[in-house]
Amino acid sequence: MPDLLRRDFVVMTALAAAFGLNARLVVPSALAQGAAGAPSKSFHKYKIGSVEVTALYDGMWAKPHDPAFIKNASVEETKVALAKAALPTDYVSIPLTVVVLTVNGKHVMVDAGSGAQWQSSAQGVLDSMKAAGLDPARISTILISHFHPDHIFGLMEKGTNKPVFPDAEIVVSADEYKWWTEPGRVEKLPEARKGLGQRINTVFPTWKNFTLVEGEKEVAPGVRLVKAPGHTPGHSAFHVSSGGQQLMISSDTAYVPALLAPHPEWQGAYDQDGPLAVATRKALLDRVIAEKMKVCGAHFPFPGTGVFAKDGAGYAFIPDTI
């Protein structure tokens, strides 16, 4: 094992023991996630109490390095963090996973994925859904974390903008919806976001199936919206509690944990309000550690779940393996 990884091996082994996991199983598999490409199976099911969670693979973006990617870290520093997580260092691996919660027989999807309209390497979740035995027509509710393309383009058909889930109730924080659809918003957006803003404003106000949530309300039985602003103004996480078990669906709060667990202070170009995103990240990670929650994230290694622990000034992430 390279020296660079030795300390992390020790940390992960200790963490695995603390969570009652078999380190010999966990560690080599976690290291093997350095291998790029699609997982061998495009879905994975697990339980949080009586809630069945189905993780659906959308795709992977092998993002070329860009000095502007992290505002307060160099490309060299990001490469060091990637190497420590046993990931390839010649690009940033940004996988995308969507989860469906089956609660009391109803299917509640969290975000809609990219709809094959984000990166050419990401094909959306419909095939993964089919493989998992889930019928898109039976999705009754879609909780939306925020209005970035990889989370909402899966709601809209390519070209026509027709709803992919016309019968589902779409639930989103009122802060997020109102910010993006405020009069004059598109003109005020940076050039790179104008197309997204235009699409949102052309499509969403014509749909009648949006429910806007003020505050941290229960949005499905045992599922509560958690405000997690910074990445976008109304960015939301979702907390699942059932049978004494808890899952924090952290959305993009910890983004790519190989980078942001050890460096929670790093501000991504994708974080609209960098300092607020950092404060939200630290508060959420401190909470999941204190309450021993399982955590999933849209850009965590597939199946998109794991646990966090404090590690010096930052955090350590142990991904779940399948």
Q: Which residues bind Zn ion (CB under 5 A)?
A: 150, 252, 298
**Nearest distance, CB of residue 255 and Zn ion, angstroms:** 7
How far is it, in rounded angstroms, from Cα 20 to Cα 307? 12
**Nearest distance, CB of residue 148 and Zn ion, angstroms:** 5
**Nearest distance, CB of residue 123 and Zn ion, angstroms:** 16
Type of residue at 273: D
Query: Which C-beta is closer to Zn ion: that of 15 or that of 110?
Result: 110
**Nearest distance, CB of residue 244 and Zn ion, angstroms:** 30
Query: Which C-beta is closer to Zn ion: that of 252 or that of 271?
Result: 252
**Nearest distance, CB of residue 9 and Zn ion, angstroms:** 29
How far is it, in rounded angstroms, from Cα 192 to Cα 147? 14
Query: Which C-beta is closer to Zn ion: that of 27 or that of 298?
Result: 298
Query: Would you call 186 helix, strand, or coil by DSSP?
Result: helix
Residues in CB range of 151: below 8 A, 6 or more apart: 111, 112, 113, 144, 145, 251, 252, 298
Query: Which C-beta is closer to Zn ion: that of 172 or that of 298?
Result: 298
How far is it, in rounded angstroms, from Cα 166 to Cα 172? 16
How far is it, in rounded angstroms, from Cα 124 to Cα 209? 22
Radius of gyration of the chain, Cα coordinates, nearest whole angstrom: 19
How far is it, in rounded angstroms, from Cα 53 to Cα 46? 5
Query: Which C-beta is closer to Zn ion: that of 19 or that of 91?
Result: 91
